Structure 1
Amino acid sequence: MCRWRAAVCRFGSGVADLVAAYLASFRSRTHPLSVRPRTQVVTGRRWAAACGVLAAAAALGAAELVAGALGRAGSSPPLAVGAAFIDLTPVWLKDFAIRRFGDDDKTALLIGLGAGITVAALGVGLLARRRPRWGLAAMAAFGLVGVTAALTRPAAGLMDAVPAIVGAVAGTAALALLIRAARRPARSDGPRPDKTQPDDPQNDAADDGRRRMLLIGAGVLGAAAAGGVAGRLLLRREDVSAARAEVRLPAPASPATDVPPGAQVRIPGMTAFRTPNRDFYRVDTALTLPQVDPRAWTLRIHGMVDRPVELTFEELLAQPLAERDITLACVSNQVGGDLAGNARWLGTPLAALLRRAGVRAGADQILSRSADGMTLSTPLAAVLDGRDALLAVGMNGEPLPVAHGFPARLVVPGLYGYVSATKWVVDLKVTRFAADRAYWTRRGYAERAPVKTFSRIDVPKPLARVRAGRVAVAGTAWAQHRGVDAVEWQVDDGPWRQARLAPVPGLDTWRQWVAEWDATPGSHTLRVRATDGTGATQPADRVPPFPDGATGRHSVVVTVT
């Protein structure tokens, strides 16, 4: 690592000297960068705009290379700026992105960010065509944005600013070089040459200039691509896939209850009772997945406790582990949405760890922190009331996928994920809501967020066309830690009818339901509502997810032919 840092410093110093020389040359009356009567622009706006894009590519390539050399993926300027954008995004826009793009919301953000960088780079190139100094200053300003974004990340250190600084220097140097290539000495007297005369020396000079521009542009692009690829390859050193593959999960001391026959409704198109890991929803703010080596992982439990606890991953696996089927749901889930999933989790009971630490009187919150600095707050009472709150290490019979929190995460049934499901968890602080506020509660979300009673129609799909006669209507309902006692469905404005409920292994999983409908030709609206174990029935009025989860009854329109 020291060798890489020394190389980065030498590279940065050399590029800085080059840029300094170019900037100093603006004071010279004869340097090609100086916009004097002795020079002229030889290309139009297209080349100028391309210069801006090539310079931005050089900046990003250099920054990616340095981020890879330092092993700091999150300090890559696009990722740092993207993460800062997420933090500054208003709640309504976050909900729109999740509703519109689902698990692809981060991909959409990065595409949008790339488009924004491209547009800005085009503008810088056009600006530099007539105002070289302004163009160079604009390129440096973009570097400052990257530095600011990197240093404002929750777990940032001074080294996180280095990729953006080196990228800004490299981009500025590349832009200066491209500007120089785009200018040539101008004739001071005499008539303009006849461009049809191939032997004219000035035409030859123009051709040579264009070739020089293309060669320099190709060189800058090649260096940018090489830097980006090398940076990505270097970051693979941080990948923990191999370490994850070596983990052998012990058998649970408390196995899960068998899933009863019939828990899965056997109808084409029906949701799986147990969600495969690859299909399990993912909603978080991490643009790049934290790579946490289990050999270096520790969990710290501190705050309002008598005996602070620190666990290694090996010590965690040595604890008595429990296996439970638990459904998780996201607070951003809309009525009828699919931001919920059911899995078999393996982990140590969280309450046992807290009792080992000795929780002090007056505490009412667990403030958990992930490896990337994200903080979530969990009501302490929900962990200590006897429910199966876990510090999970396994999911559906294998170590947690990296995307779902490897090596360890929290799973607390009955609460929305933003207060119960910290991934890549490394720190648990026992505290009070009055003293500490987590990421989402600082943004107006509710401190205590029990999952609301929810149901949806999975079959038939919205706008489906079905044949008249006997039609299966089926779906899923959940009310974790309270259970679902009844599901009713309705056709148009007709009477509510009882659906048949599938058996479940416990109160903390979702429950499937099915009914048969004698469908008649025409357009029909199907609705559903569930009643939980406390006797509460889903309300009819729809409420958006913010600040504590959506409510309302799901409906689909189908056409019967």
Structure 2
Amino acid sequence: MAPFADRHTFRANRSGFRSETRCVSTTEAPQRPEPGAAPRIPRGWAALVGVLSVAAALAAGQLVAGLLSPASSPYLAVGDTVIRFSPQWLTEFAKAAFGTADKPVLLAGMAVVIAVVAALAGLASRRRPGPGVVVVAVLGVLGFVAVLFAPVFAPVDVLAPTAALVVGVGVFRWLHARALPSTAGPAEASGGLTRRALLVRSSLAVALGSAAAGVGGVLLGRGVGDSRQAVTARLAALPVDRAPAIPPTAALPELGTPTFLTPNADFYRIDVALRIPDETADAWSMRIHGMVENELELTFDDLLRRPLVERTITMTCVSNPVGGDLISTANFVGVDLRELLLEAGVRPGADQAFSTSVDGWYTGTPVDVLMEPDRGALLAIGMNGEALPPEHGFPVRMVVPGLYGFVSATKWIVDMELTTFAAKAGYWLERGWAEKAPIKTQSRIDSPRGFASLPAGRVTVAGIAWSQPDGISRVEVRVDGGAWREAELATEVSGDTWRMWRADLDLGPGSHTVQSRATDANGVTQTDVPAEPIPDGASGYPAVLFSVA
């Protein structure tokens, strides 16, 4: 459409009527306040001012955190606070509903809530900036408090939330002044630009600057890549007491079971960390203290100078439901934890090794388990032929076969205090979970999948079973509630790992339900009594419903 249109006006004179043509603009004229009324920002611009101001605040906080202390990001600190104080039912709902995507969902949900609050703050400030400034300031203070009371805090951490607060309030005032119409009309605002054009440019500048600062802060907080490469190279050159090779008959992936060793990228991840810690190997240290005769202060080089051992270990999460997939197996390389505790000299009466992560998470592990000669607990530094991935604990983590991860698998470990369960409670123990949590004997059906449709005739059922550290001696299956029949077991690797199994069944047409149960090396059979994962692990028989044509 042309920007101008002809408008005819007719004026009377002594000779009659004459036609006069003049050009007028059909573009929308900027709003002017009514005489005597206070100027107001249009609703859309008011909401945008609020959103951009809070975005700038979050980006500034992220950038300063990336430069000085990644753990001090106000946005992530608030998310960590939400996780720490969430009721157990909400935590379990999030795991069940979103699995390992629960943290991205939380962060996205926070972003939506913050954006709505910011937009409402802008709408409340159409005439004057006061309400919006107050809301932005309150959000900034919440971020400041979350950082201040985080499990791990250093004085430098206050700089990121302070920067977020100052930038948020400053940007809100700056954009508000450019968005507010002048009582004198919309003439030129600055440098020949209309007020609207200046506001558009200012908004774009804030948006682009916020995006750049936020991305820059995230990238600056990821400094472990070179360190991991160096550790991987050093592990390849050092002598390691290697684990026995995995026999090709130990897994049945062609039948639908997992490969025996889980690739690092597929290894399950469950923790409470919103931000993966960026500790490098050179900066890492750990103290073993408390009820010991000799305190130990370890650096990463200290670990590399000690005898390194590789162990094949299956890890299981207590949140794993019956038939669930929160279980994986890897070759871990590290230092024998029992040897370290013997060197420290654990005093009588110490029944708990209270370990703390670099991000402040903490748990307690039974000392008697760690001191078992054949338990094989590790301070692990390698996983499947390379340094630990950042999300799995780089540079150092605990791995203890036979215990659920929430009491035995501290990632990013930096401290271990020998104490008692009466003196200190772990993170999940405080929330009503079990104190010692040995892994229950369980099995899983991997094939056929639920609700699959199969041709009539012989059907192969396959799956996995586990009972760390004792191992599996038998797996049985039954169809439609009938008699149990023994399955064929794959080659056993060790009691610390899962064991694959298969059973061939001749089934007629119709719907069928297959169940499985496992028996450990001590002759104890998996219970049929259903139990939820919390507080000490799920139990019951897994079942798969499918049809045969």
TM-score by length of 2: 0.89
Q: Counterpart of 1:307?
A: 294
Aligned mates of 2:170, 2:278 — CA distance in 1: 33
Q: Counterpart of 1:440?
A: 428
Q: Which amino acid aligns with 1:229?
A: V
Q: Counterpart of 1:98?
A: 95
Q: Counterpart of 1:320?
A: 307
Aligned mates of 1:283, 1:554 — CA distance in 2: 22
Using a 3 Å threshold, how does the CA distance of structure 1 residues 96 and 208 change in structure 2: closer, same or farther?
same
Secondary structure at the counterpart of residue 372 of structure 1: coil
1:265 to 233, 236, 252: 252
Gaps of 5+ in 2: 1-33
Alignment of 1:17-416 (within 5 A): 37=36, 39-43=38-42, 45-70=43-68, 72-130=69-127, 132-186=129-183, 202=185, 204=187, 208-236=194-222, 239-247=223-231, 248-249=234-235, 254-386=241-373, 387-416=375-404
Q: How far off its partner does 1:251 sit?
A: 5.0
Q: How far off its partner does 1:261 sit?
A: 3.9
Q: Does the 8 Å contact 1:68/1:233 carry over to 2?
A: yes
Aligned mates of 1:456, 1:488 — CA distance in 2: 11
Q: Which moved more, 1:260-269 or 1:113-122?
A: 260-269
Deviations 1:165-203 (A, max 9, x none): 21122111111122222222337xxxxxxxxxxxxxx56
Q: Counterpart of 2:410?
A: 422
Q: Does the 8 Å contact 1:252/1:346 carry over to 2?
A: no
Aligned mates of 2:296, 2:401 — CA distance in 1: 24
Deviations 1:512-539 (A, max 9, x none): 0100111222121111111112322222
Q: Counterpart of 1:14?
A: none
Aligned mates of 1:364, 1:42 — CA distance in 2: 65
Q: Counterpart of 2:10?
A: none
Q: How far off its partner does 1:371 sit?
A: 1.4
Residues matched between the structures, number: 509
Secondary structure at the counterpart of residue 212 of structure 2: helix
Q: How far off its partner does 1:268 sit?
A: 4.2
The yes-or-no answer on 1:452 pairing with 2:436 is no
Q: How far off its partner does 1:374 sit?
A: 1.2
Aligned mates of 2:207, 2:381 — CA distance in 1: 44
Aligned mates of 2:414, 2:182 — CA distance in 1: 62
Using a 3 Å threshold, how does the CA distance of structure 1 residues 40 and 457 change in structure 2: closer, same or farther?
same
Gaps of 5+ in 1: 1-34, 188-201
The higher radius of gyration belongs to 2
Aligned mates of 2:467, 2:239 — CA distance in 1: 26
Secondary structure at the counterpart of residue 60 of structure 2: helix
Q: How far off its partner does 1:270 sit?
A: 2.1
Deviations 1:119-146 (A, max 9, x none): 1111111112255312211110000100
Secondary structure at the counterpart of residue 501 of structure 2: strand
Q: Does the 8 Å contact 1:252/1:323 carry over to 2?
A: no
Using a 3 Å threshold, how does the CA distance of structure 1 residues 168 and 516 change in structure 2: closer, same or farther?
same
Using a 3 Å threshold, how does the CA distance of structure 1 residues 51 and 487 change in structure 2: closer, same or farther?
same
Aligned mates of 2:496, 2:320 — CA distance in 1: 18
Using a 3 Å threshold, how does the CA distance of structure 1 residues 219 and 254 change in structure 2: closer, same or farther?
closer
Secondary structure at the counterpart of residue 350 of structure 2: coil
Q: Counterpart of 1:199?
A: none
Secondary structure at the counterpart of residue 129 of structure 1: coil
Q: How far off its partner does 1:267 sit?
A: 2.4
Aligned mates of 2:78, 2:61 — CA distance in 1: 13
RMSD: 1.9
Deviations 1:61-98 (A, max 9, x none): 2212211221x222112111111111011112212222
Secondary structure at the counterpart of residue 118 of structure 1: helix
Q: How far off its partner does 1:358 sit?
A: 0.7
Q: How far off its partner does 1:407 sit?
A: 1.6
Q: Does the 8 Å contact 1:39/1:184 carry over to 2?
A: no
Higher strand share: 2
Q: How far off its partner does 1:339 sit?
A: 0.5
Q: How far off its partner does 1:42 sit?
A: 4.4
The yes-or-no answer on 1:520 pairing with 2:519 is no
Q: Which amino acid aligns with 1:482?
A: D
Using a 3 Å threshold, how does the CA distance of structure 1 residues 42 and 275 change in structure 2: closer, same or farther?
closer
Q: Counterpart of 1:10?
A: none
Q: Which amino acid aligns with 2:126?
A: R
Aligned mates of 2:85, 2:136 — CA distance in 1: 23
Aligned mates of 1:448, 1:204 — CA distance in 2: 74
1:462 to 450, 459, 473: 450
